[in-house]
Amino acid sequence: MLETNVTIVTGAGQGMGEVHARILAAKGASVILTDIDTAAGEAVAKDLRSSGHTATFIAQDVASEADWQKVIDQAMERHGKVDTLVNNAGILVRIPLEELSVEDFDRMHAVNVRGTFLGCKAVVPAMRVAGGGSIINISSMSGTVANMPGMTGYCSTKGAVRLLTKAVAVDLAKYNIRVNSVHPGTIATPMTKSYYEDPDMRKMILGPTLMERPGQPDEVSEVIAFLASKGSSYMTGAEIAVDGGYTAV
């Protein structure tokens, strides 16, 4: 399904990014994994290669413009083009507004928003070589609703990613580059692990989720794979909820 596809997945060392990389590779994509955690990212790429997939790891802080240039240069050297970029790396600091420091607010914006902006910008020449492409920005249901207390910083980043996606879609449509945002609900990953250990917290974080359970990372990866594929060829500027129905009510 994605046999000729060259895909970059950021934050692929663990959590959803790791599973996205594994599932896209299983569907035939050549995958470039990036992460700030070199050991974790290297291990996933090595494991994928040992199963016969084409996978490369590149150390990257997504908030750094120089690191983005390095990733795109290496991708071009190896593959000569990029078809798909999954801007997945993100951080969450959940703290009440009165205690949220400027440093934490700015760091979340640097990684979640600046990182996504830099990725969208840096990948354009490599996608133009491919004749077009698909950029998939990972927002959150927290980019649509303020789903629990202590989310001022995070919600403001994910809301920004939602509209940044649409604005970038407007600018890149002329190059046949599609740009969509994915809005996961409560997904069981290391980022949210501590929430599920406490029954009261689990109840609060699930809130009105119609399916009454956290999602699994692969349930998001399958949507990513669809957005990377030709099956979604008429979709751009769209926001796709993958939240078990949380935002439906």
Among the listed ranges 78-86, 170-178, 185-193, 227-235, the one in contact with ligand NAD (CB under 6 A) is 185-193
Cβ 234 to ligand NAD shortest distance, Å? 25
Nearer to ligand NAD by Cβ, of 26 and 93: the residue is 93
Rounded least distance, CB 105 to ligand NAD, Å? 15
Sign of the CA dihedral with 137 first, then 78, 177, and 233 last: negative
Q: Which residues contact 62 (CB under 8 A, 6 or more apart)?
A: 10, 11, 34, 36, 68, 87, 89, 111, 115, 116, 118, 119
- Helix axis angle for 15-26 and 217-228, nearest 10°, is 50
Residue type, 97: L
Instruction: Single out the segment in contact with ligand NAD by CB under 6 A; choices: 1-9, 31-39, 49-57, 125-133.
Output: 31-39
Rounded CA separation 218/17 (Å): 10
Of 29, 110, 21, 108, residue with least CA distance to 58: 21
154 tagged catalytic: yes
User: Mask: binding to ligand NAD, 66-85, rule CB under 6 A, as x and -?
Assistant: --------------------
Residues with catalytic function: 154
Site of interaction with ligand NAD (CB under 6 A): 10-11, 13-17, 35-37, 40, 60-63, 88-92, 111, 138, 140, 184, 186-187, 189-192
